[in-house]
Amino acid sequence: MNSVELNSSRDKLIILDQSLLPWDELYLEIDNEYRLADAIKSLKVRGAPAIGIAASLGIAVIMKRRGERSTSEFTKEFDRVADLIISTRPTAVNLINGISRLKIVLNKLLERSDISVKILEESLLLEAEKIKEEDASSNLSIAESVLTLIKPGSTILTYCNAGELAVSELGTALGAVYLAKSRGLDIKVIACETRPLLQGARLTTYELKRGGIDTTLICDNMVSYVMSKGMVDAVITGCDTIALNGDVANKIGTSMVSITASHYKVPHYVAGPSSTIDKRCKTGKDVVIEQRDPSEITTKWFSRKVSAEGVDVCNPAFDITPANLIDAIITEKGIFRYPFNFNKHD
């Protein structure tokens, strides 16, 4: 699957609307910043790498469609659009990193006195396309490394969705599963439903069954049960932000899974591109945790509201898994072990 791409004329962003899966496969065309912001905020596109790719490609397309203007007007408009998109998902560091790369390219070109808006437009688009190509390459490298950590025939437990839908190609946490399948080394997957937005139930089971992977769905509160029965050989999750000390921000509930895995001596591996490492965050305490609409918990998937009227709701989108609970963090640069030094890997 290719959940984020450009159309053939490179003037529109095409995304698979993940908010409608697994019921409907609908591709959306995006050609302005408000549609892009809505797509990211409402999780029509989600997964840290995919968000970064969508933001980069989307902004490049939007700037290309603006028509004639001066370089100063172009820069001012870029900053406005970029600020709007960055505000949609503050925890997803790939989004910020992707836009920052575009900004670096833009500033470098503006040092030239003879630069044209046409060159600015094409340069941003080429850089955005490069971000996607690099993500696809890194996913394959990550999958190769993860595959060295799990035995053929193993059963892994995963949380949220870190497969094809969350990236450009293959996946981070699930990339090794697809790679193993292609080599005849079948790996079974237990997928947690992932409340409150059900990314595991809706998205992970959708893409794994589509890929012919032996998949079992469980409720989030069944993790301890399946681990206590020896049904899990390893936990593999993705990540939205990695702090410099190895603390990881991922979908809310990941830390619960990791704590349980530690109790039952099940290794927890985190897979993600190095672009997910946020140099601004020394520890997980520095990560901004997004708070989402209470209706996602009380109403979204139900025909009737399931909570008492007027009850307070806490709905953080992510939590922090402490570095000492994580057995390894795998990026395209290699396998890193606790205590984490991202300059030294296996």
Integer Rg of the chain from CA: 20
pLDDT value at position 132? Answer: 95
pLDDT tens digit string along 172-190?
Answer: 999 999 999 999 998 999 9
pLDDT value at position 9? Answer: 92
pLDDT value at position 114? Answer: 87
Within the chain, which residue ranges are assigned CATH 3.40.50.10470?
Answer: 143-337
pLDDT value at position 156? Answer: 98
pLDDT value at position 269? Answer: 98
Burial class (CB in 10 A: 0-12, 13-18, 19+), 144: middle
CATH top class, domain 143-337: alpha beta
- Hey, which CATH number is domain 4-139, 2.70.240.10, 1.10.10.60, 1.10.3720.10, 1.20.120.420? 1.20.120.420
Residue 104: count of CB within 10 angstroms of its CB: 11
pLDDT value at position 184? Answer: 93
Q: What is the mean pLDDT of the chain?
A: 95
Provide the whole-model pTM.
0.92
Give me the active site residues, please: 240
Structure tokens at 316: 């953080």
- Which residue stretches of the chain have pLDDT < 50? none
pLDDT value at position 346? Answer: 79
What's phi and psi for 228, nearest 5 deg? Answer: -65, -25
Within the chain, which residue ranges are assigned CATH 1.20.120.420?
Answer: 4-139
pLDDT value at position 48? Answer: 86
Own/partner long-range contacts of 18-26 (Cβ < 8 Å, ≥24 apart): 18/43, 18/44, 18/45, 18/46, 18/165, 18/203, 19/43, 19/44, 21/165, 21/202, 21/203, 21/206, 22/202, 22/203, 22/205, 22/206
